[in-house]
Amino acid sequence: MKKIFIVFAFLATVSTLHAEEVDFSSTDYSFIDGDTIVFDGVRVDGFGFSLKEDALKLKFKFDLESLSFKLDTSDVVTYPGIGVFNGQCMANDAPVISLTTNDEGIEIENRQPFYSVNIDTTYKKDGEEFTIVAGDLIESGKTSYRFITAEDKPFVAEFDLQPNQVMSWNVSKSGKLMVYELTGPEIQNEDGTTSSGKMVSTGTIDGNLMIGPTKIVKAGIYKIQISLAPGLKRTNSFVFKPFNGNAQILKKVVNNTRLSEFLEADTLSCSKFQILLNRDETLIIPAPKNDDLTIKLVNDKSKVIAKTNGSELIYKETDKNNSYYIFIYSKGSNRNTYGNKISIVLEKPEEVAKAKK
């Protein structure tokens, strides 16, 4: 989809006058209820907005009277200062949640958020049994825990999330059909009251399900409720593992840098790198060992410049010097690694001259 130049008067309702340029080329889009198209990650430029830093989520509903899709001005979501992102990958680092010290005395930054649940659970470690009491804080990403949901007491997990986290929730080993609801932060009304958070996603769980990945662009308490499917009785147990897939930090790379990455299973994590290419330089990223890894080259306006699935990525810079982002992630949920040296080849002056003839 090409760039669209338009004036958005509705943006006055979100503390800015208007946007003069709107770029849909890097968005993810989806259909809802058969009559609504959602564009997530629209880049905007104008008063108070920057193509490189800000984004919007826009909904267009089909209007029977005009037989066209019209913008739903009552449901515009703004992503101020969210930076470059594409799909499940975000260039900005997730916030540091806590610091720990390893055996060598080195501080380790933890970027996995904490959560609490409304029911107790027990687990074994080194032959000893431990209990996590309802309401205790649990760190995401470290361990999977088994929980039990009952007919009269659904499982509810609460997450205090921050922008630039990319959350997925892995539910596995469920013996019975269940339903889940993921809701966002409570809404503050103009009259001082609060309303329940908007539904982010909902669906059924039959055995195993990866919920997400969900880019967090608004801080607040997010809730996941998991219940037995209507009509089912008694209880059901399942294994629950949440994970912030944007826990890895952005690394700057140059010619001959070796990318050595480990992508954990059942997390939908993403590795990310920043690179500067000069005119007439060609970037070569060798192919991964299998086709389960996707490699994307994204510019500073969040647009995909080149993409491969399981094969070598080659891109030649024909414009002025530009900064790009390399995203590497698993298409599925398998444990995976990537280890190869990238190379930047500068075309010789005589080759440039021949190409121009």
Domains belonging to the chain, first-starting first, are 4-81 (no CATH), 98-244 (2.60.120), 251-353 (2.60.120.380)
CB 211, CB 182: distance < 8 Å: yes
Round the average pLDDT of the chain to a whole number and report it: 84
Residue 226 has what pLDDT? 96
pLDDT tier at 50, thresholds 50, 70, 90: confident
Q: What is the mean pLDDT of residues 235-261?
A: 92
pLDDT tier at 163, thresholds 50, 70, 90: very high
SS3 65: coil
CB atoms within 10 A of CB 39: 19
- Tell me how far apart the alpha carbons of residues 24 and 26 are, in angstroms, rounded to a whole number: 6
CB 88, CB 40: distance < 8 Å: no
- Tell me how far apart the alpha carbons of residues 345 and 281 are, in angstroms, rounded to a whole number: 5
| Residue 283 bridge partners (DSSP) | 315, 344
CB 186, CB 197: distance < 8 Å: yes
Instruction: Let me know if 296 is exposed, middle or buried by CB neighbors in 10 A (0-12, 13-18, 19+).
Output: buried
Eight-state DSSP code of residue 275: E
Percent of the chain with pLDDT over 90: 41
In this structure, of 136-145, 149-158, 176-185, 332-341, the range with the lowest mean pLDDT score is: 332-341
Higher pLDDT, 356 or 165: 165
* Interval 148-159: pLDDT, tens: 999 889 999 999
Residue 13 has what pLDDT? 34
Q: Over the Cα atoms of the chain, what is R_g?
A: 23
Residue 354 has what pLDDT? 53
Residue 1 has what pLDDT? 42
Higher pLDDT, 216 or 6: 216
* Interval 73-104: pLDDT, tens: 888 888 888 899 988 899 999 999 998 887 78
